[in-house]
Each structure stands twice: as C-alpha cells, then as structure tokens.
Structure 1
C-alpha cells in the first residue's frame, strides 16, 4: 500500500474541437480635428507687417500636428535625439539648448 500525500489525480485532457474563428472589432473613437475650418485660410498668402513677412503656414497648426499622432512625432524625436547625442557641447551652446534648437528647426523649419 502506497500512501503518497500531496499528489492529486490529474484530470483527463480535453479534446480540442474545431470551431469557427471568432472575429473581434474595436474602434478608437471619433477623429479629433487638428485645425479649425477657418485655419485653412492662414495658408493663402504671406502677410507683410512692415518689418518681416509672416509665413503662410500656421505655427500653431504645426505645433498641434506634431502631437496629432505617434507617427508624426516619433521620427522627429528620434532625429533630435541622434543629433543631440552626437553634439559636442560648446561654451556658447549647451547640449540642452542644441536639443531645443534642433526640435524647433525640425518642427517649424526655422529656429
């Protein structure tokens, strides 16, 4: 007579039956507009205020579009991080200031 404590009998393995694959769908919600409808008129012309020309591209719209989706901001931040990692600090320009400069240049086209 064997008296083994702590062992319980294993249940029999269940048979796998073929069933139709289930389909699952999900949504992310309604898309949120980045620019208002009236903001499209900002692209019509360059406006001169007497001292400089205002660009036809809305800087507010560019700043909003950076964070509109992950695929917009991710490559810009990667490029900024690569350039900042290869930058050699200078007494007139720190690495943090250079990183800010590069991000402004990549997003707005000027810095």
Structure 2
C-alpha cells in the first residue's frame, strides 16, 4: 500500500464581518487557522479574533486573480493573472469565546420517580 501524502489546494473566498481592520490583516500577513472547513459551520482564527461561518451562494460570480510584478506598464499597477472563479463564499462572523464551566449532574432522593436532578458547576 502506498503511504505517501497527497496534497490538495483549494481556494476559498471568505468575507469577514465584525470588528477587524485592514492594518491588522496586513500585520498577520493573511495567516489564519481554520477548523472544519469542509463542515457546514467552519471556524477560523486570525490572531486573537475568532470567526464562525457558513457557506452561501454569491450574487454573481467571484473571480480571483493572482498579482504579479508590473512589466513596464505606464500606470504602475501590478499585472493580474486569472486564477479561478466561484459562485460560493464563506461568510464569517466574529464571535467571542467564553470559558466553559465544568458541570457535574447528580441525582438526589430515593425511588424511581422521586429523585431530583441537581447540577453543580465550578469554574
């Protein structure tokens, strides 16, 4: 059996909503951590910001270009080369995480139906 890894590259258009600015994205250099990208509710972390989202159909088509060096153009802008297109995008909304409390459930009382259920939570 062949145990070699096979890599697959996939481009995803992501739209971020929430409190985040372009300066922060430049400082992070676009690096992020993505969890469950193939699921219905993927999550993403960029620096200290956490986002949760879902895939949606776009209104029209998203076209992606790769930026290359300008080759003697008078306008001074970069040269753009078509990469791919998609009709879906990942809409991500910023979320705020809170510490999960550990809960222990115990049953008190006697008899089958006379017991009371209590939950003791601690931080």
Q: TM-score range by the shorter chain?
A: under 0.3
TM-score by length of 2: 0.18
Higher strand share: 2
Looking at secondary structure, tell me which structure has more helix per residue.
1
